[in-house]
Each structure stands twice: as C-alpha cells, then as structure tokens.
Amino acid sequence: MTSNIDLSPLFQPTQIGAVTVRNRVLMSALTRNRALPTNVPNHLMVEYYRQRAESAGLIVSEGILVCQQGTEWPHAPGIWNQEQIDGWKKINDAIHEMGSKCFAQIWHLGRVSHPDAPDQIASGQPVYGPSAIAARGGKFRFLPGIPGYVTPTEIDDPMKLVALYKQAAINAKEAGFDGVEVHAANGYLIHEFLDSGSNMPRTDEWGGSLENRSRFGLEVLHAVIDSWGTGRVGIKLSPAGGYNDMGMPLEETLETYKYFIAEIDRLGLAYIVLQRYSEFLDPIIDGKRRAIKHDVVHAYGHLVKKSTLLSNGDFTPEEAAEYVAAGKVVGVFWGHLWISHPDLAKRIQNGKPIDTPIDMHTLYGNACGTTLDDQRVGYTDYPFAEHP
C-alpha cells in the first residue's frame, strides 16, 4: 500500500473525553457471534481482542446485550450476569496489556429480536419496541422456516428499558472497561425511538414531536453518565439509516438529528461517532435502497462543540488522514478492515497491504464447527504482516 498523502495525522496521540489514545486508527463494534454456548465471553474472544489491541488506538467492543434477547446472533455476548462480567474482565485485561483502551458498546435490539428465539423465550419478556410497528427484513437462520421480523409489543413504560442500560453500564465498570458507548444506530432500540417510522402512534411524552422521540436516548445517556461521568461515555449514531428498515424523509432526518445531536453535545460526552452511509448497511426493500443518503459529517459535524467528533463508514486511510488533518473529525473507526487485518493500524502506518478478503461464511461464526476451537476459523486466524 503506497500513498502520496501524509498519513501521520492518524498516528498522533489524542484525548477522547477522559481517555488518552495512542493513535486515531480506531476499531468499531463488530458482532462476531462467538460467545458460545451461553452468551459468555470466552478464551477465544480474549485472543481475538488481544490481537487487535496490539495496534488499535481505541477498541469498541462488539455489541453487548444489556439483557437476554432473541437476536439474529444467538451467540452474541451479554453483560447481565457475573459470569459475563468476569469474561469481559479477562478481555479488558488483555487489551490493556497490549496498550490499548476499550469502551463497551451496550445494546438493546428493541423490535428486531424474535419472540420464538430460545433466548427471548428464556427471558420471559416480549419483544419490545416504541410502537407496534414491525421492521421489514430479518433472517433468523437458526429458527424453522428462517422467519423475519415480527410486530413488537409497545413498551408501556420505557424507563423499564432505561434501567437495563443503567445496570449494563454499572456492570461494564466492574468488568474493567475504560468507558461505555451507547448504541443508538442501525435500527436498534434508541434509533427506533428517534425515527418517526418506528415510533409513530405514541401520543405520550415518548413519541410524536422530535423532542419526545429524543427523550429515550437522552434518558439512557443520563442513566449511563450517572455511573461513568460524561468523559467516559460515547454514543454511536447512523442518521442515514437504511439497516433494519430505518429512515425518515431527508428534511425530517435533518431536523431530528440536528436537534438530538445538539442536545447530547451539551452533555460534553467523550465522543459522538457519526456513521456515514454504507451500501453494506443499506438493504433493498420494495425494489429500492432504504437509506436516506446524505453527508452526515457535513450535515451535523458543526453541531459537535463540547464532545469529541469521530466517524466511521468506508473510509480509506488517505481520506481518514485528510479528515483528521482538516479538523473535520478527531479519529476514524474501521470495522471490516479490522476483521481480516488484526494489525490494521500497523499496516496503515507501515504501508502494508490492507486487501485481505473477509471470509463471509465465517463472519458470524463457523457453521461447520462443533467446538469452540473450530470457531477460530475466520476469527483469530487472519494473518499479520511483517513489520519493521
């Protein structure tokens, strides 16, 4: 990999809230579905994170379930019990030994779980959403007939769900994380409250106006900040929508996110990460792409004054360096490139190739494997480059 563009801006240490990071090559949350068999982090996950912590400035964990839920990924990790907390502690110890930092991405899926999934049944809870409106799409491959999403149960008192985030944040601190990222993107619960297409018939203080649709996300942030303080709490947003059948008309999108981002920035968060449009996350529904494509850094970046602005979404290293050098963002997250390049930051810094393809058959687990060690394939066996 050769470039005439100066990549050194990516390798300057910086402060993200209360956390100092060694570079601006950041690793975003990546669901990998390896917490077998009971949503508990294991030794294989320790190895996976240790590999990437050798060079990443900041790692955001894969989405961590705040409670037992019937997701499309039956082996996604949780943080609602002591065994899970202890498992994450081992991962964080490994990350810190390698000189990196890690934020826990806390995650409630809302309407895009399935009531027939074993974990949902075991939870004893219905699939909740802000309104009884189903998302189009979904493939629960482990259920008979591979069903899609169903109509959720409208949550009567959303503060019940806020309490789950609060406890997850408390547990994340016990597990040794450096902070918490609130997942408010990609059609999951907080995003569902924000979007008028998934939060439509409510006439109480949780729906209708953009102020009311923003309330749930703000309440979650306040609950998490109670445990962590503002300097160790970030939030991820995907205003362009698309994934999980999300997206409002452009003018309503701009109005909603300008209001919400201005409100959350007043809190002085560690960071706000704006996920750019990505075709990978933009399904075709009824013959056309679902997302509301627009330049999210340009549209909303100027509103971020008290928090650190980060971004992700199909950046090249050259583009990322230009964004950092120009002061558009402080750092850039990558996702898929970290999967197949465990030494991504070193590769970028040393001009090594970043063209190793991802084995899509093992992205969310090795279906042919019968043991945990079989799950190494497409997970911890991607090659490192030779570095000086």
Residues with active-site annotation: 188
In 10 A of CB 57, how many CB atoms? 26
Inter-residue contact 265 to 303 (CB < 8 Å): yes
CA distance 68 to 118: 10
Instruction: Look at residue 193 and give its three-state secondary structure.
Output: helix
CA distance 21 to 81: 29
CA distance 152 to 388: 54
| Strand (E) or helix (H) holding 105 | strand 101-107
Give every CB contact of residue 231 below 8 A, 6+ residues apart in sequence.
Answer: 17, 18, 19, 179, 268, 270
Inter-residue contact 366 to 36 (CB < 8 Å): no
Could you give the residue ranges of the DSSP H alpha helices within 43-175?
Answer: 43-53, 82-97, 118-123, 159-174
Using alpha carbons, select from 18, 34, 123, 140 the residue that is nearest to residue 87. Answer: 34
What is the DSSP code string of 282-343?
--EETTEE-S----HHHHHGGG-SSSEEEEESS--HHHHHHHHHTTS-SEEEESHHHHH-TT
What is the DSSP code string of 25-36?
EEE--------T
